[in-house]
Amino acid sequence: MSTATGDTEGAGGGGGAGGAGGIVLVLDGWGHAPPGPGNALSLASTPTLDALTSTAGATLVQASGEAVGLPAGTVGNSEIGHMVIGAGRPLPYDSLLVQQEIETGALAANAVLRRTCARLSAGGRALHLIGLCSDGQIHAHVDHLRELLRIAAAEGVRAVWIHAITDGRDVADGTAAAYLERVEKLAAEAGVGRVASVVGRGYALDKSGDLELTRVAALAMADGAGTGVAHPRDALEGPGGSDVWVRPSVVTGAAGEPVGAMGDGDAVLFTNFRSDRIQQLADHLVSHLPPRDVTVLSLARYDTRAAITPLVDRADASGGLADELERHGLRSVRIAESEKFEHVTYYLNGRDARVREVEEHVRITADGSPDHRAAPRMNLPRVVAAVAKAAGRADVALVVANLANIDVVGHTGDAEATVAAARYTDEAVEAVCATARRSGRWVLLVGDHGNAEQMSKPGADGVARPYGGHTVNPVPFVVVPAPGRPVGQVRAGGTLADVAPTVLALLGRPPGAVMTGRALL
């Protein structure tokens, strides 16, 4: 059977020179840590993963900090993880680029920002800063907020309203009060800025497409509509139940009026550096604001429908695995549940929204907003079935699937549910390996960052508390050879940047010209 592109490199079936081709499984949130009471992966019964990770095809690779293009010591995340897996090289991530622009003074000198501040200052209009208030470093960092407050003050902006999104996911739940206090302190130090609204990330950073959550968050920020509170911390006393689900709350003045609603001539600056979860809100806000004339900016570039001017642009991520597969005419099928769909498509492809002729995308959708604690299996059987279907096709060289369970369930901070997620993942891996054996394929398993291997973390008092965030731990990397094609001992000392060159080597192809990673075979 020939591929749809009528390629020239003899890739008319499976992996061409690499045999029948392969299956890449990204186990989301699959980090490595010594066994212990907080390690959901070691607590779970995972006979298949245990066996695979003790073969010669197994090693550990770095997935955090400088190894992948993040600021030193920063936890990995799905965006940068999948981007580096695809790019075959570390990519300076948006958080690093922002940090560098702060350190060099480039952000303070940014022409768009200075011009906007000058206009606000001259007209007595307000700057609204919207972003996740924590130092979780996955979507945002309060240090960036501090710098923006300083710049606004230096440029003479007198009214700066902070629309605080509470976290409890990238950092421990129950920490929102401390972060609000920190934000108020930063504002006091800068001499400008007050919190005008508070809302949990469950509302403001929804990306499930539940526009009602987005709408109520935007109403609080733009119109000052929501539960009135005298002080930002009062918002945390509401019935939301966790930092993630703080109800949209608006700080009101003596007469009950919202202090920081958006008015004609104001400017909004989104302070998250990661796009995927803020873009639904940003798009909604842009369409909700008129007839008010409000300038909307973002700290980093977002993938919104609306054209929002970024202050810091992103790195070029082209020339990765998708481009190489296309060049060789090798067909790939990408499969993931909605939560991680963009990660195995858009991000893996270097933030390129094109669906190439030799690519097929399979999104496994869930009904409604599931409770991951109660349903840790998610839709894994449907992901496995889609993998089996794609792997059974002779025209498919590569199947790439994301198994989301241990990360998504891990984020609940519920160790017991995460243990169950690990058990289901183990069964899924066993099924995929059986599929691979039947179809003569190799399997490459890799984590994109740690999560489930650390489900508790000591608080400021030294007492361990549930923790659902990512980690800086290395992640397992395993090559399960195709039947009759042994690969021997894989190399130690790798990073996620080595995944794409390894995949290409298994497919009998050289690494891409711009890839600095090297095959671990």
Q: In the set 77, 95, 166, 349, which binds ligand 2PG (CB under 6 A)?
A: 77
Pattern 25-54, Mn ion, x by CB under 5 A: ---x--------------------------
407 binds Mn ion (CB under 5 A): yes
Nearer to ligand 2PG, 26 or 388 (CB): 26
Instruction: Kindly state the tokens that stand for 202.
Output: 């469950």
82 binds ligand 2PG (CB under 6 A): no
198 binds ligand 2PG (CB under 6 A): no
Stretch that binds Mn ion, among 6-14, 52-60, 285-293, 402-410 (CB under 5 A): 402-410
Strand partners, 23: 399, 443
Report, in Å, the least distance between residue 83 CB and ligand 2PG.
11
- Distance (Å, rounded) from C-alpha 262 to C-alpha 128? 8
141 binds ligand 2PG (CB under 6 A): no
331 binds ligand 2PG (CB under 6 A): no
Q: Which one of ligand 2PG, Mn ion, none interacts with residue 277, CB within 5 to 8 A by kind?
A: ligand 2PG
Report, in Å, the least distance between residue 274 CB and ligand 2PG.
7
In 139-271 the beta strands, taken as DSSP E runs, fall at 159-166, 194-200, 227-229, 249-251, 267-270
Q: Which amino acid is at 100?
A: Q
Q: Give the dihedral of Cα atoms 170, 176, 179, 181; nearest 10 deg.
A: 180
277 binds ligand 2PG (CB under 6 A): yes
175 binds ligand 2PG (CB under 6 A): no
Nearer to ligand 2PG, 151 or 300 (CB): 300
Instruction: Kindly state the tokens that stand for 199.
Output: 């809302």
- Distance (Å, rounded) from C-alpha 398 to C-alpha 13? 11
Q: Which one of Mn ion, ligand 2PG, none interacts with residue 138, CB within 5 to 8 A by kind?
A: ligand 2PG
Q: In the set 144, 169, 331, 423, which binds ligand 2PG (CB under 6 A)?
A: 169
Report, in Å, the least distance between residue 299 CB and ligand 2PG.
16
Decide: 170 and 137 in contact? Cβ < 8 Å. Answer: yes
Q: Which one of Mn ion, ligand 2PG, none interacts with residue 146, CB within 5 to 8 A by kind?
A: none
- Distance (Å, rounded) from C-alpha 468 to C-alpha 298? 27
407 binds ligand 2PG (CB under 6 A): yes
Q: Strands 398-403 and 464-466, how do they pair?
A: unpaired
Q: Which amino acid is at 420?
A: A
In 114-208 the beta strands, taken as DSSP E runs, fall at 126-132, 159-166, 194-200
Decide: 243 and 176 in contact? Cβ < 8 Å. Answer: yes
Decide: 439 and 399 in contact? Cβ < 8 Å. Answer: no
Nearer to ligand 2PG, 139 or 284 (CB): 139
Stretch that binds Mn ion, among 24-32, 58-66, 229-237, 316-324 (CB under 5 A): 24-32
Decide: 346 and 353 in contact? Cβ < 8 Å. Answer: yes
Q: Which one of ligand 2PG, Mn ion, none interacts with residue 173, CB within 5 to 8 A by kind?
A: none
Report, in Å, the least distance between residue 70 CB and ligand 2PG.
12
- Half-sphere exposure of 104 toward its Cβ, with a 13 Å CA cutoff? 10
Nearer to ligand 2PG, 274 or 441 (CB): 274
> Cα separations (Å) of 261 from 57, 319, 346, 397?
58, 44, 35, 54
> Cα separations (Å) of 259 from 30, 81, 284?
44, 40, 22
Q: 46, 22, 25: which is closest to 447 by C-alpha? A: 25
Report, in Å, the least distance between residue 166 CB and Mn ion.
18
- Distance (Å, rounded) from C-alpha 109 to C-alpha 116? 12
- Distance (Å, rounded) from C-alpha 387 to C-alpha 381? 10
Instruction: Kindly state the tokens that stand for 63.
Output: 């997935």
Decide: 310 and 302 in contact? Cβ < 8 Å. Answer: yes
Q: In the set 53, 78, 298, 471, which binds ligand 2PG (CB under 6 A)?
A: 78
Decide: 224 and 261 in contact? Cβ < 8 Å. Answer: yes
Q: In the set 27, 44, 91, 138, which binds ligand 2PG (CB under 6 A)?
A: 138
Helix (H, G, I), strand (E, B) or coil at 334: strand
Nearer to ligand 2PG, 405 or 435 (CB): 405
Nearer to ligand 2PG, 20 or 70 (CB): 70
What is the size of the binding site for ligand 2PG (CB under 6 A)? 9
78 binds Mn ion (CB under 5 A): yes
Nearer to ligand 2PG, 63 or 138 (CB): 138
78 given a catalytic annotation: yes
Report, in Å, the least distance between residue 139 CB and ligand 2PG.
6
448 binds Mn ion (CB under 5 A): yes
Report, in Å, the least distance between residue 29 CB and Mn ion.
6
Report, in Å, the least distance between residue 205 CB and ligand 2PG.
7
Instruction: Kindly state the tokens that stand for 81.
Output: 């993880």
Decide: 402 and 344 in contact? Cβ < 8 Å. Answer: yes
Pattern 13-32, ligand 2PG, x by CB under 6 A: ---------------x----
Q: 344, 471, 277: which is closest to 26 by C-alpha? A: 344
Residue of 42, 45, 64, 78 marked catalytic:
78
Residues that bind Mn ion (CB under 5 A): 28, 78, 407, 448
Residues that bind ligand 2PG (CB under 6 A): 28, 77-78, 138-139, 169-170, 277, 407
Catalytic residues: 78
